[in-house]
Structure 1
Amino acid sequence: MLMVFFQVLTPEEAFAAIDLPILGLLFGTMVVSAFLERAGVFKYLGKLLSWKSKGGKDLLCRICVVSAAASALFTNDTCCVVLTEFILKVARQNNLPPQPFLLALASSANIGSATTPIGNPQNLVIALQSRIPFKAFLFGLLPAMAVGVCVNIAILLFYFSKSLSPVNHQEEIPSPAGDVIFHRFSQANMSNHHLSSRYSNDTVDAVLQGSFFPTEEVHLENPRSNIAHGATLTDCLISQEKDGSVEGGNTLLWNTCVYFVTIGMLVSLLMGVNMSWSAISAALILIVLDFKDAQPCLDKVSYSLLVFFCGMFITVDGFNKTGFPSLFWELMEPYARIDTISGVVVLSLVILLLSNIASNVPTVLLLGARVAASAAAASPSEEKRAWLVLAWVSTVAGNLSLVGSAANLIVCEQARRAQFGYNLSFLGHLRFGLPSTLVITAIGLLLIRV
């Protein structure tokens, strides 16, 4: 609004600055992620983290690998939203400090999201502006991501080896009742929702194992329950599950459809089909196949993020018209050429700093076209490498400080709000984030494939 008010841009120029394909791709991936969450994919990821876990170090390694892989497919923010409280619960149940696991989740989610165009917002911008196919983007950064996650695990184990060592079972603190309660988070507002009045098999299993205790949030569907006739809470819950057994088959069929549509979307992306249309088509197919009101899933779309992107496109376009970005790049370009080692180092440091000062998406919007043009002038084959370097460095830069990426802030806020929550401090994150970011960025730059 200010850009138009001060006549930096005309209203027509402001509307023209909005990149609709990026908004379409972002909207489509958020809708698909909402349906995947409803289909229970993140519940299965949570089970995978704790299945036959062999202690703190094993759990930390699993968190790094699972969050990195999931973030490449479902975006880093989504994974951090749905996995943070589960990780806090598991850490408390095993009498382990939450800090290393929270850092593992946020840092690995950022690293993993660098691999694909749908992993994070800045990669969406890079993929559509550079027109690099999904497959080329994936295989160009996959080696850097794989090694980066391994290095991240090694650094975490080095920092927290003592605190992750096994403890005496006599010293373990039994998990309070509240710890076992799952809370689901909306992608739009990350607010806690009360437990559903329906209970899954996991809840019944928890009751049978004695690890679930009723709280004030527990509501039975049938107020005239059999408790009056001497039945136990377990009997009532099992009775409710039997009543919903007919729905179980429909749920399984629906979940299968969601997985197949998602796989179809990923295959289309790998085949080079337009990314925006692939994501929007997958979202539309899921809405149609659901045969229900789509409002609950559409409510999980972060419309504030879409509006933020619109404003950012306009702001960056107006800022470019002031001439300051061009002047800055003219001063930096001789020292930040992609065809020399020193140039790559200088360029990476500039991206790291700007991504933590101005955020990574504005940095990509401001530098992307200029870095690519400079690389193309040196050698046409270097243009693709320049885009991939920008994607890698701007994403891993989010691990440098707590405010470096939205994923970090989501983990911090979710951990603080959770029952028996934990405050992740800025300095506590920086002590790990600074060396980790520098090392992983440097190693990844050597492994980017063109």
Structure 2
Amino acid sequence: MAMASMMKVVLGSIAFGFFWVLAVFPAVPFLPIGRTAGALLGAMLMVVFRVISPYEANEAIDLDILGLLFGTMVVSVYLERADMFKYLGKLLTWKSRGGKDLLFRVCLVSAISSALFTNDTCCILLTEFILKIARQNNLPPQPFLLALASSSNIGSAATPIGNPQNLVIAVQSKISFEKFLFGILPSMLLGVLVNGAILLCYFWKLLSIERDQEVEAEAGDLVVENEVINSHQSPHASSVNSRDFSFGIDVVTPSSLVNANSLPNSVAKDPPNENWKRFLWKICVYLVTIGMLVALFLGFNMSCTAVTAALALVVLDFKDARPCLEKVSYTLLVFFCGMFIAVHGFNKTGIPSTLWEAVERYSRIDSTGGIALLSVVILLLSNVASNVPTVLLLGSRVAASAASISATEEARAWLILAWVSTVAGNLSLLGSAANLIVCEQARRAQFYSYNLSFWSHLKFGVPSTIIVNAIGLPFIRSY
């Protein structure tokens, strides 16, 4: 694509600059309006500056991606209500054999659940469980929080519904759920194991500290009981809110960490009939979710399947759906709309195409050096511009370059883009929404708070990202 006129290039760059600055630094002093408003501002400026027309802006919004994102968020809300993540938390401690065993369980559970229920959702709902488990077992929280964030990112790479950038890739590439899964699954499993091994090397001494299990457990239970009682006696006790710093979304952490029946003056248990109704409702939620995954695996339209599953859960709930639908992150959907328009306008300037043409001949995926260079470009751009804009900017160009080799290589190029852009999120604390969610949830945890610093994450994130990416790339295949 040739460069546009100088006026369009300048104005388009200014509009995209507003979007990029506010997407990466949402609280800049000169315009602290947040990421969602920043995306809308960038989109609006693209139209006002006549870089694109209003019709082109409307066409840039991909309704398939928005439908798939909305559907998976609604399903996640109902899974939370059905205690799915509470059961996952209990699975972490079932017959646990110490800190090292627990660390690998966190890696596996967070990776698999992120692949099926999105990484951001899993980090929101599992952080406090993991903090509680670490404290009760007299273990340092840091390795387990790092395991949750990094493994969630790695695990989410395996499916089209694992994270937002994979949603974009799946819709644009038209790669089926089955081919996407089997193309990246070997790399994902190997990456989770390698990431866990790196964590063990970093924290071997901390996880090897012996303790008196009975004394520590009793002391931990006493502390928890006192804190719970004090928090409920305080007039200022309330639910903990956190903010997803990737998109400016308000989310509420689950309140199911504390069993109401263990509190003083708690209400009596539900009648048997109500318990049976809730049990049957949970079974229906799990069956609908499994049905959605099976339909995706069989190749049904991903957006329609997710929305259908969401509506099925709304109907089966048989009550006003507003409280559940209010938990959907509509600001995320609005952010995506603005981002689609801003990135489309920047593409129309011709700058991305010109830059890609400069490196395209050296980054073809039919050679080891080409794959290495392409991976470095994706990794750096994902940490500078964020992974979803990177996919929107590079996706079609990388695919077109690979398509000149063969159709199989085109599909493989999409999968490489999905793998590298997702694992790149582990490089720093600011690399992905999942990292920020874990950091903020841990800092604001109701009973067991912990501050995961930028530098403590970076010391682990840099080697982990490079090693996991390098080991996983040779195993990515298209079928």
TM-score normalised per structure 1: 0.89
Q: Which amino acid aligns with 2:338?
A: G
Cα distance in structure 1, aligned partners of 2:351 and 2:397: 13
Cα distance in structure 1, aligned partners of 2:282 and 2:111: 23
CA offset digits 1:326-385 (Å, max 9, x no partner)? 111011101111111100000000000000000000000000000000000122321011
Answer whether contact 1:94 1:172 (CA < 8 A) is retained: yes
Cα distance in structure 2, aligned partners of 1:408 and 1:310: 23
Answer whether contact 1:81 1:185 (CA < 8 A) is retained: no
The aligned counterpart of 2:212 is: 169
The aligned counterpart of 2:92 is: 49
Select the residue among 198, 213, 229 that pairs with 1:155.
198
Cα distance in structure 1, aligned partners of 2:362 and 2:147: 34
Cα distance in structure 1, aligned partners of 2:108 and 2:200: 14
Cα distance in structure 2, aligned partners of 1:397 and 1:162: 28
Answer whether contact 1:55 1:166 (CA < 8 A) is retained: no
Residue 390 in 1 paired to residue 417 in 2? yes
Q: Which amino acid aligns with 1:439?
A: I
Cα distance in structure 1, aligned partners of 2:469 and 2:387: 15
The aligned counterpart of 1:401 is: 428
Gaps of 5+ in 2: 1-43, 232-237
Aligned CA distance change for structure 1 residues 110 and 192 (closer, same or farther; 3 Å): closer
Residue 270 in 1 paired to residue 297 in 2? yes
Cα distance in structure 1, aligned partners of 2:454 and 2:318: 46
The aligned counterpart of 1:189 is: 250
Aligned CA distance change for structure 1 residues 328 and 67 (closer, same or farther; 3 Å): same
Select the residue among 250, 254, 261 that pairs with 2:288.
261
Aligned CA distance change for structure 1 residues 185 and 109 (closer, same or farther; 3 Å): farther
List aligned pairs for 1:204-215, cutoff 5 A: 204=261, 207=262, 214=263
Cα distance in structure 1, aligned partners of 2:363 and 2:341: 27
Answer whether contact 1:72 1:113 (CA < 8 A) is retained: yes
Select the residue among 46, 49, 53 that pairs with 1:10.
53
Cα distance in structure 2, aligned partners of 1:191 and 1:249: 27
The aligned counterpart of 1:71 is: 114
CA offset digits 1:44-102 (Å, max 9, x no partner)? 00100112212111111110000000000000000000000111111111111111000
RMSD: 2.0
Select the residue among 311, 315, 329 that pairs with 2:338.
311
List aligned pairs for 1:68-217, cutoff 5 A: 68-169=111-212, 172=216, 174-175=219-220, 176-177=223-224, 189-192=250-253, 202-204=259-261, 207=262, 214=263
Note the C-alpha offset of 1:128: 0.6
The aligned counterpart of 1:443 is: 471
Cα distance in structure 2, aligned partners of 1:141 and 1:244: 47
The aligned counterpart of 1:341 is: 368
Note the C-alpha offset of 1:203: 4.6
Note the C-alpha offset of 1:423: 1.1
Answer whether contact 2:161 2:167 (CA < 8 A) is retained: yes
Answer whether contact 1:72 1:114 (CA < 8 A) is retained: yes
Note the C-alpha offset of 1:172: 4.1
Answer whether contact 1:122 1:364 (CA < 8 A) is retained: yes
Note the C-alpha offset of 1:168: 2.5
Q: Which amino acid aligns with 1:59?
A: L
Note the C-alpha offset of 1:7: 1.2
Task: Tell me the secondary structure at the aligned position of residue 376 of structure 2.
Answer: helix
Answer whether contact 2:239 2:252 (CA < 8 A) is retained: no
Identical-residue share of aligned pairs (%): 67
Answer whether contact 1:114 1:120 (CA < 8 A) is retained: yes
Answer whether contact 1:185 1:192 (CA < 8 A) is retained: yes
Gaps of 5+ in 1: 208-213, 215-232
Answer whether contact 1:403 1:409 (CA < 8 A) is retained: yes
Answer whether contact 1:89 1:179 (CA < 8 A) is retained: no
The aligned counterpart of 1:298 is: 325
Answer whether contact 2:183 2:476 (CA < 8 A) is retained: yes
Q: Which amino acid aligns with 1:433?
A: G
Aligned CA distance change for structure 1 residues 185 and 260 (closer, same or farther; 3 Å): farther
The aligned counterpart of 1:34 is: 77
Task: Tell me the secondary structure at the aligned position of residue 24 of structure 1.
Answer: helix
Answer whether contact 2:184 2:476 (CA < 8 A) is retained: yes
Cα distance in structure 1, aligned partners of 2:407 and 2:178: 20
The aligned counterpart of 1:224 is: none
Task: Tell me the secondary structure at the aligned position of residue 42 of structure 1.
Answer: helix
Q: Which amino acid aligns with 2:326?
A: D
Q: Which amino acid aligns with 1:144?
A: S
TM-score normalised per structure 2: 0.83
Note the C-alpha offset of 1:169: 1.8
Task: Tell me the secondary structure at the aligned position of residue 240 of structure 1.
Answer: coil
Moved over 6 A (4+): 178-187
Q: Which amino acid aligns with 1:447?
A: F
Answer whether contact 1:82 1:185 (CA < 8 A) is retained: no
Answer whether contact 1:28 1:282 (CA < 8 A) is retained: yes
